[in-house]
Amino acid sequence: MTGLNRRWGLGCSAALLALLLVGCSTRSLNRAPVEDRPLRSAVTETKTAADVKIAADIPVVKQPPGFENAGLPGYYTVKPGDTLLRIALENGQSMKDIARWSHVDNPNRIEVGQVLRVVPPLGNEVLVKPVAKPQVEATPATAAASAQAPASAASAAAVVSKPAAAEGDINWIWPASGAVIAGFDEVKNKGVDIGGKAGDHVLAAADGRVVYVGAGLRGYGNLIILKHNNVYLTAYAHNQTLLVKEDQSVLQGQKIAEMGNSDADRVKLHFEVRRQGKPVDPAKYLPVR
């Protein structure tokens, strides 16, 4: 009986110990989620800091000037190899005007992707105002002639009061007296080449304003560009001597340069007529010789 009691007491003790272990295990399991929370929070904070670092390392893309106008009518996006002078010539504008409209501080520095305004803002059209032709001073002899010929005076008054011709109506003259040695070709020759001797006169083909003087356009040598109105430009290339300055007004037939062979294989004048920037055949505009 004593042995049985001893075995029963040992069994009870083992059962009691098992219950205690189960209780401890249960309490530990109940506390586990609470203990894990700080660990999850630390992981989350670490990821957030890493994301911020990655975002800070991403470079900010700088957009070229005027990019918001890309593709809009009246605007041009600069391409590799472009110069402001060539863009101006091909759009029938003055380089200085495009620089002003596009807020370009240095006309010699434009960047690929930059968007330039190539038509004047509304109400800011560029008007060409050539120098007025000198008037003949009245003398007693001319006064007497006027009194004897009232019909002629009336005719002269009619000419003076005649409305100005449309912008497309220009009576052109030949800019040089030599023979044409190369005709117009849309791909190979955007004007006509006129032969001559070094120093021969180069004349303004019509009244206009000088919008470029220099040698900044490859293949043209010493170049002069005249703007005649909001439709037409003319270009005079390969000159030996340039006799006018930018923004100067010139008259039709005025000597503006001397013929030469700058950036050319022989002495010649390369002459272009551009209608709204597009080269057209000068032979269709110049008088028949």
Domain with CATH 3.10.350.10 in the chain: 67-117
Residues 6+ apart with CB under 8 A from 152: 146
- ∠ at Cα 262 (215, 224), nearest 5°? 45
Of residues 130 and 107, more confidently modeled = 107
pLDDT of residue 61: 76
Domain 180-284 grouped into CATH 3.30.360.10 = no
Of residues 51 and 286, more confidently modeled = 286
pLDDT of residue 116: 97
CATH architecture of the domain with residue range 67-117: Roll (3.10)
Q: Which of 244, 238, 142, 151 is nearest to 199 (CA)?
A: 238
Q: What's the pLDDT band for 179 if we cut at 50, 70, 90? A: very high
Measure CA 64 to chain center.
12
What tokens does 258 get?
């001397």
Q: What's the pLDDT band for 52 if we cut at 50, 70, 90? A: low
**Using one digit for the tens of pLDDT, what is the confidence trace for 30-43?**
454 544 555 454 44
Q: What is the mean pLDDT of residues 274-279?
A: 96
Residues 6+ apart with CB under 8 A from 129: 209, 249
pLDDT of residue 56: 61
How much is the mean pLDDT over the chain?
Answer: 78
**Using one digit for the tens of pLDDT, what is the confidence trace for 76-126?**
999 999 999 999 999 999 999 999 999 999 988 999 999 999 999 985 555
Q: How far apart are CA 119 and CA 67, in angstroms?
A: 17
**Using one digit for the tens of pLDDT, what is the confidence trace for 154-175?**
333 333 333 334 556 899 999 9
Domain with CATH 2.70.70.10 in the chain: 180-284
pLDDT score of 221 more than 70: yes
